[in-house]
Amino acid sequence: MSAAKAENPAAEPISVRIPDAVRMTGLSRSRIYELMRSGDIEFAKVGASTLIIVESLRRFVLARRACSH
């Protein structure tokens, strides 16, 4: 773990709300909901809030990364 992360663990969130997930990925709000329904990205409901698990977003995008040759 880097010194910056050790000093400020909140610098990298473990979850984000839907609008933040849209900004982070460039995907539409509708597509985020589709991915949630299909189980491609993980989320948690906390009261009325829907939280998208950031690591799940990363895994989804990285698994679809195009290789350039």
pLDDT digits (tens, 9 = 90+) for 50-64: 999 999 999 999 999
Compute the average pLDDT of residues 19-34: 97
d(CA 67, CA 58): 16
pLDDT of residue 66: 82
Residue 44 has pLDDT above 70, yes or no: yes
Here the tokens at position 9 are 């663990």
pLDDT of residue 56: 97
Residue 7 has pLDDT above 90, yes or no: no
pLDDT of residue 57: 96
Q: What is the mean pLDDT of the chain?
A: 88
